[in-house]
Structure 1
Amino acid sequence: MAEAAPSPSLPQSAAKPLSAPQKALRKLGLVRAIDLALHLPLRYEDETRITRLADAREGESVQIEGTVTGCEVVQRPRRQLLVTLDDGSATCTLRFFSFYPSHQKTLSVGARIRARGELRGGLLGWTMMHPSFRVASGELPDALTPVYPTSAGLPQAYLRRAVQAALQRADLSDTVPPEALAECPGLRLPGQGCPWSLREALQFLHHPAPDVPLAALEDRSHPAWQRLKAEELLAQQLSQYRAKQERAGLRAPALPSRPGGLHEQLLAALPFPLTAAQRRVGEEIARDLARTVPMHRLLQGDVGSGKTVVAALAAAVAIDAGWQCALMAPTEILAEQHFAKLVGWLQPLLEPLGQEVAWLTGSQKKKDRAEMLARIETGRAALVVGTHAVIQEQVRFHKLALAIIDEQHRFGVAQRLALREKMQGTGLEPHLLMMSATPIPRTLAMSYYADLDVSTIDELPPGRTPIVTKLLADSRRDELIERLRRQVAEGRQVYWVCPLIEDSEALDLSNATATHAELSAAMDGLVGADGSPVLVGLLHSRMPPAEKKAVMALFSQGVMGVLVSTTVIEVGVDVPNASLMVIEHAERFGLSQLHQLRGRVGRGTAASVCLLLYSPDENGRVSPTARERLRAMVETNDGFEIARRDLDIRGPGEFLGARQSGSPLLRFADLATDSHLLEWAREWAPRVLDQWPDLAHKHLDRWLGGKSDYLKA
């Protein structure tokens, strides 16, 4: 119910200036006619009927029609426009706190108006706050009115016209073979012979009849919704299988393991035996590396399961075959942890060969960086460990054969592609090993990783102690600090994690600097088990790299008793003597992040505890989502169960970090409720690709456009 909008036709030429609504359309990604056709309503408003005020009920959203009998601007208690509407059975006050002169003109005394909004009852009669309204003219619509997701500068009226025009222009011919549709569940209404076509489904969802049960539209169980979800899942599976086919046609260097080679030398030199799970996944990776088809494998394992040593063994195979390996991590702290371990394991074996493990980050001094770049280009650097600096243009590898990406979901797809492109010009692709401490639930793996081989380390090394997780309200902070004093006096070490490093107007949270000062005062005069004063350190992302390194070294060596930190210690930090983790404002963290942080303790033989310090609101409550996360942390240490619950709470987009990656998210399908459609799409995608390649190409273009290229990463 807005005023008439200008024509929504998109400009044909890039040179033609865009109007504000056209710019807003493009910002939403609504460029092609099919994009608009697939831009479905968030909800619907029923403007097909008029409700008499005498028949209305409190709290109902209704449309009323009547004559304006009063229209005035009042200043108290604040400036507002009050309009009285009489429908012949009763009166209703329309109240506007935001209004324009045009509103007053339309709502002048004597005008016949239709208004729609939620009715509230009071001592003075019915009221509607900020209702939508229009002049009462013309027939009532015969379908529900769609309300679309939109943005600033894009009125609903304009968007409705644009969508309607797109439905006429877009090619909505079926791209799913009839044979596949016949086996797809849920596409028919009871008694209906044929499944809904795409055109029928879209027309219906944009303009459903008023007698359709709103519940079936809202929970997306209606056959029209099922048709769209099936199409979307099929497009996603087609793109995954096509990427897998294309990858099968590429060539990578064959890297066979040889008896007595670097791989076996490293195994013999390790100060600990591998677990059965580590041996199993190591063999899976070695088999892949020996083939000329590029490996595309995800190595997943819970926090502390020993993924780095498996990566080191894979790197040893590549180096032994005469090639280079690159390992990229999302943060400098994590990259440095990897570097320290890999230097310890591999450097003694590489030195006799005239090779080394190299270190490359953006914070290096110019001279050191230039020296590393030269060693990488000549091949002296057999293994290069670093942050995103590894993929920068000036980094030229001599012979790169294996790319290892840790915490792969933290990188954008474009960054992963850039690392693979380091072999351009050779006609070969590097083998790709991605690692993640966030296990992938089965439904997510079926959907987003259909083209990926997955290896899972499903056991922890012996000697790890279970971590006890407890909730503690912030009101008991003083008790907690006293407990910390006792732990530290006994020689234990403590992490205290804060979500912010400076005050935020939006979030009333303690910052790391203030907490550091508070804990320093609390530990003042305290002596540790070795008789030396207890040090309290501070670590956050804005510190210079050298300072971060110095703080971490003091904590790792046991010199520092308490480390106050932001989430820079989320992954990779390994201090066996640290046995207590405090996470402040735990209700603000995501579930996988809480699990990662918890994994920083429990790495030695001492009993370890993770305390989730939460701050309820003034009513003593936390949000339902935060409550679910905290409950999951207390109930299980199992990373796979954590991952499953995290997917339930956050959905696949947030879980994968896919919003910043360019990877196409599922807009309509829900992996939790649509597994039957996913199974159908998985079964039919290879058959459609093989038997109906033209339809498959058209289907992918419709649903993904250029985004399917990202799936090659």
Structure 2
Amino acid sequence: MPRSPAASPATDAPNGAASGDAKPALKADLRSAPAKALDRMGLDTPLALALHLPLRYEDETRLSAIAALQPGQTAQVEGQIVECRVDFRPRRQLVARLHDDAGDELVLRFVNFYPSHQKTLATGQRVRVRGELRGGFFGREMVHPTFKAVDEHTPLAAALTPVYPAGAQLPQAYLRKAVAAGLSRAPLDELLPASVLPPGLPSLRAALQFLHQPPASASLATLEDHSHPAWQRLKFEELLAQQLSQMQSRRERARLAAPVMQALPGGLHERLLAVLPWGLTDAQQRVSQEIAADLAKPQPMHRLLQGDVGSGKTVVAALAAAVAMDAGWQCALMAPTEILAEQHFVKLVQWLQPLGITVAWLTGSRKGKGRREMLERVASGEAKLIVGTHAVIQDDVQFARLGLAIVDEQHRFGVAQRLALRRKLRTERGPGSPALEPHLLMMSATPIPRTLAMTYFADLEVSTIDALPPGRTPILTKVFGEGRRDEVMARIAEEVARGRQVYWVCPLIEESEAEGDGRGKPLSELANATDTHQELSDALPGVVVGLIHGRLAPTEKAEVMARFASGQTAVLVATTVIEVGVDVPNASLMVIEHAERFGLAQLHQLRGRVGRGEVASICVLLYSSPLSETGKQRLKAMVETGDGFEIARRDLEIRGPGEFMGARQSGDALLRFADLAEDAPLLARARQAAPWLLDHHPAAARAQVARWLGSKADFLKA
């Protein structure tokens, strides 16, 4: 798409004249600071500018009489400056007095000002001023209002004035002109048949024109709560593009070929079931059957296996791997951290090695001869099951016959890594035969609320383990202020004396990590793992206190975890590296310091590290005051429910879908305009319309996805 002339209105002539210049770098340097700021915000095409919607609106379409204004009211007044002076008490400031046509007075006060302010507000000048009225000591006043010089014939604005999201060096006036120019040039032709649209919605161009320049009569309430038909049109367009992208992906996958895998009577699948020390729950049996049915099809499986913390996803994955290996294919299991990958590795070796299965271990820390031997076993096919981190998809890893890939905590991998995994695992066949895609099973211990599954996983089949294995004890959650730290220390001593083990989780490693945390609190005020480790060691003489954090080498992390798992270490001070996968049944107390700083899903994951045995377990959430409203909501949810699905629903309400889905990995929010909590009817209509549009208007469907998603379509499929 061509770059909008509006992207650099101040430099159109030089750029145009320099089209044949041999020094493009110099040409780029000539652009104004606002033009460069537009580029940094991604506002570099007419369409991007047209879709850059206002945060709010200012009403400059009417004037108010000064006498009619109330304190706290934002209004626009007009009058003549009768005095303008610089005062120096209590600090240097510009003070102007304005009289409206009725003779009533308003004081204009500026603590920060420039010579141009004094020039525009000179005595005798007529000005139009907009701001919030305050009841000052000397009467009515506005502090730092907006203002401009006018005369008696200067017309009022015909539309509400938009206020846009803007970065530094990007004045609102410049941005308004750029957006208006982009809107006039953007390709906003109607792509959709009228029958697809919800009734009563304007055209896309009319909707955007309204949102950028709403008339004075427009309802600010419907603009601000996004319920206006113009907003509804944008939301529906976006949701439809998202559904089209997912359904395209599902249909494309249905045309691909994959190895057919079936469990053999008396084979590895049955033998693994026989040696497990417990029986499967009904939920585990159900999802295992769903996965087995997918593996038996000649199209690649694309299934998400979700379940709460401790619901038994690993054994379901092992049974799926057994089906693949029974059929003569290899299976790869990839996890985001070495700790989690090693937990899987230990369990799978324990279950499968006695059955004659060679399990390979591949991580970034494995070097030299050991790594070369593992790579040879993978390439030869001797290693039937390969477990590791992202090292599994590195260039030097070659599989003999890879038929199933299992990705644990898939949302924690970057987009590029997940796409690379899918490309890496394709098996080429001879001429005339399509390439074989591996079956793909993704696992998540963060349950996905139904609205998210319908939206972001529309191209996935979803299996849910909705029950915990018997014997898991409920975890009691308590919230304590930082002032009760000594009580928590005493409880730790009691638990250790009973032979139990304890986690203490901190958000930071050391005080010097940074100057501040970006939330208004310097890091020196926050607990850190190294200091807490020393504090607990001093408070618990004779007790072995361990320390684990992300800066330790992988071998050191493994040693620390092994000592804790074996019971040699009684108390483990940790950062969130122990968030998932760590399984120590003897651990009965989890303390999370500065719990208000963790996300709700993360708190639930950390809490799930205890309560894994038959011992009654407690999770203590220590917080520092003052608590934000979001912090209060999170801690309240943790106390009120231990259900991961309810936690996920509340987390979605608090954070929104973009953060919940880890959209920051892609650098973009997944939905800019639609809100899953409020727009369920629009989502349902989009889901209904998408397959019809793909069948009857495929060109329009492709154009819709390209307009709204662009490269983000790959993220949704990853």
TM superposition score normalised by structure 1: 0.92
Corresponding residue for residue 387 of structure 1: 389
Q: Percent identity?
A: 65
Corresponding residue for residue 255 of structure 1: 261
Alpha-carbon contact 1:144-1:208 (below 8 Å) kept: yes
**Deviation per CA, 1:240-270, whole angstroms, max 9, x where unpaired?**
1111111111112222221122222221222
Q: Is 2:551 the partner of 1:542?
A: yes
Alpha-carbon contact 1:409-1:658 (below 8 Å) kept: no
Corresponding residue for residue 663 of structure 2: 658
SS of 1:83's partner is strand
Q: Is 2:643 the partner of 1:638?
A: yes
**1:664 shift after superposition:** 5.9
Alpha-carbon contact 1:413-1:663 (below 8 Å) kept: no
Q: Is the alpha carbon distance of 1:378 and 1:97 closer, same or farther for their aligned partners in structure 2, counting shifts above 3 Å?
A: farther
Alpha-carbon contact 1:300-1:435 (below 8 Å) kept: yes
Corresponding residue for residue 240 of structure 1: 246
SS of 2:384's partner is strand
Q: Which amino acid counterpart does residue 49 of structure 1 have in structure 2?
A: R
Instruction: Kindly report which structure 2 residues correspond to 1:271-310, keeping only aligned pairs within 5 A, or say none.
Output: 271-310=277-316
**1:453 shift after superposition:** 0.1
Match of 1:681 among 686, 690, 694: 686
SS of 1:705's partner is coil
Corresponding residue for residue 424 of structure 2: 422
- 1-side partners of 2:211 and 2:456: how far apart? 27
**1:36 shift after superposition:** 1.4
**1:386 shift after superposition:** 1.5
Instruction: Kindly report which structure 2 residues correspond to 1:201-350, keeping only aligned pairs within 5 A, or say none.
Output: 201-350=207-356
Match of 1:158 among 171, 174, 178: 174
Q: Is the alpha carbon distance of 1:82 and 1:425 closer, same or farther for their aligned partners in structure 2, counting shifts above 3 Å?
A: farther
SS of 1:128's partner is strand
Q: Which shows bigger deviation, 368-377 or 5-14? A: 5-14
- 2-side partners of 1:123 and 1:148: how far apart? 34
**1:458 shift after superposition:** 0.9
Match of 2:464 among 456, 460, 463: 456
Q: Is 2:58 the partner of 1:45?
A: yes
- 2-side partners of 1:106 and 1:381: how far apart? 80
Q: Which amino acid counterpart does residue 56 of structure 1 have in structure 2?
A: L
Corresponding residue for residue 56 of structure 1: 69
Q: Which shows bigger deviation, 106-115 or 598-607? A: 106-115
- 2-side partners of 1:222 and 1:63: how far apart? 26
**1:502 shift after superposition:** 1.8
Q: Which shows bigger deviation, 155-164 or 392-401? A: 392-401
Corresponding residue for residue 629 of structure 2: 624
Q: Is 2:84 the partner of 1:68?
A: no
Alpha-carbon contact 1:9-1:162 (below 8 Å) kept: no
Q: Give the gaps of 5 or more residues in structure 2.
A: 1-7, 429-434
Q: Which shows bigger deviation, 503-512 or 334-343? A: 503-512
Corresponding residue for residue 107 of structure 2: 93
Match of 2:539 among 519, 522, 525: 522
**1:229 shift after superposition:** 1.0
Corresponding residue for residue 377 of structure 1: 379
Alpha-carbon contact 1:83-1:93 (below 8 Å) kept: yes
Q: Which amino acid counterpart does residue 481 of structure 2 have in structure 1?
A: A
**Deviation per CA, 1:186-219, whole angstroms, max 9, x where unpaired?**
x53xxxxxx3111211111111111222111111
**1:565 shift after superposition:** 0.8
Q: Is the alpha carbon distance of 1:445 and 1:484 closer, same or farther for their aligned partners in structure 2, counting shifts above 3 Å?
A: same
Corresponding residue for residue 648 of structure 1: 653
**1:662 shift after superposition:** 5.9
Q: Is 2:126 the partner of 1:124?
A: no
Q: Which shows bigger deviation, 86-95 or 628-637? A: 86-95
SS of 2:480's partner is strand
Instruction: Kindly report which structure 2 residues correspond to 1:427-576, keeping only aligned pairs within 5 A, or say none.
Output: 427-503=435-511, 505-506=515-516, 507=521, 508-524=525-541, 533-576=542-585
**1:408 shift after superposition:** 1.2
- 2-side partners of 1:295 and 1:24: how far apart? 44
**1:77 shift after superposition:** 3.4
SS of 2:90's partner is coil
TM superposition score normalised by structure 2: 0.91
Q: Is the alpha carbon distance of 1:393 and 1:100 closer, same or farther for their aligned partners in structure 2, counting shifts above 3 Å?
A: farther
Q: Which amino acid counterpart does residue 405 of structure 2 have in structure 1?
A: A
Alpha-carbon contact 2:56-2:164 (below 8 Å) kept: yes
Q: Give the gaps of 5 or more residues in structure 1.
A: 189-194, 525-532
- 1-side partners of 2:294 and 2:437: how far apart? 13
- 1-side partners of 2:664 and 2:377: how far apart? 36
Provide the aligned length of Structure 1 versus Structure 2.
683
- 1-side partners of 2:114 and 2:338: how far apart? 54
Q: Is the alpha carbon distance of 1:662 and 1:683 closer, same or farther for their aligned partners in structure 2, counting shifts above 3 Å?
A: farther
Corresponding residue for residue 707 of structure 2: 702
Corresponding residue for residue 597 of structure 2: 588
- 2-side partners of 1:317 and 1:486: how far apart? 47
Q: Which amino acid counterpart does residue 422 of structure 1 have in structure 2?
A: K
SS of 1:381's partner is coil
- 2-side partners of 1:709 and 1:324: how far apart? 27
SS of 1:518's partner is helix
**1:641 shift after superposition:** 0.7
Q: Is the alpha carbon distance of 1:431 and 1:91 closer, same or farther for their aligned partners in structure 2, counting shifts above 3 Å?
A: same
Alpha-carbon contact 1:412-1:662 (below 8 Å) kept: no
- 2-side partners of 1:322 and 1:99: how far apart? 77
**Deviation per CA, 1:276-308, whole angstroms, max 9, x where unpaired?**
111111111111112121111000000000001
Q: Which amino acid counterpart does residue 452 of structure 1 have in structure 2?
A: L
- 2-side partners of 1:400 and 1:19: how far apart? 54
Alpha-carbon contact 1:300-1:439 (below 8 Å) kept: yes
Alpha-carbon contact 1:662-1:710 (below 8 Å) kept: no
Q: Which shows bigger deviation, 653-662 or 36-45? A: 653-662
**1:496 shift after superposition:** 0.9
Q: Is the alpha carbon distance of 1:480 and 1:423 closer, same or farther for their aligned partners in structure 2, counting shifts above 3 Å?
A: closer
**1:8 shift after superposition:** 8.2
Corresponding residue for residue 407 of structure 1: 409
Name the Cα RMSD after superposition.
2.0
Q: Is 2:49 the partner of 1:36?
A: yes
Alpha-carbon contact 1:298-1:433 (below 8 Å) kept: yes
**Deviation per CA, 1:321-364, whole angstroms, max 9, x where unpaired?**
2222221111121111111111111222235xxxx212222222
**1:511 shift after superposition:** 1.1
**1:41 shift after superposition:** 0.7
Q: Which shows bigger deviation, 558-567 or 262-271? A: 262-271
- 2-side partners of 1:161 and 1:152: how far apart? 17
Alpha-carbon contact 1:62-1:116 (below 8 Å) kept: yes
SS of 1:402's partner is strand
- 1-side partners of 2:12 and 2:50: how far apart? 14
Alpha-carbon contact 2:595-2:623 (below 8 Å) kept: yes
Alpha-carbon contact 1:413-1:662 (below 8 Å) kept: no
Q: Is 2:1 the partner of 1:21?
A: no
**1:103 shift after superposition:** 3.2
SS of 1:362's partner is coil
Q: Which shows bigger deviation, 423-432 or 259-268? A: 423-432
Alpha-carbon contact 1:44-1:145 (below 8 Å) kept: yes
**1:6 shift after superposition:** 4.4
Q: Which amino acid counterpart does residue 334 of structure 1 have in structure 2?
A: L
- 1-side partners of 2:561 and 2:60: how far apart? 64
**1:542 shift after superposition:** 1.0
Match of 1:197 among 203, 210, 223: 203
**1:120 shift after superposition:** 1.1
Alpha-carbon contact 2:427-2:437 (below 8 Å) kept: no
**1:9 shift after superposition:** 6.5
- 2-side partners of 1:79 and 1:350: how far apart? 83
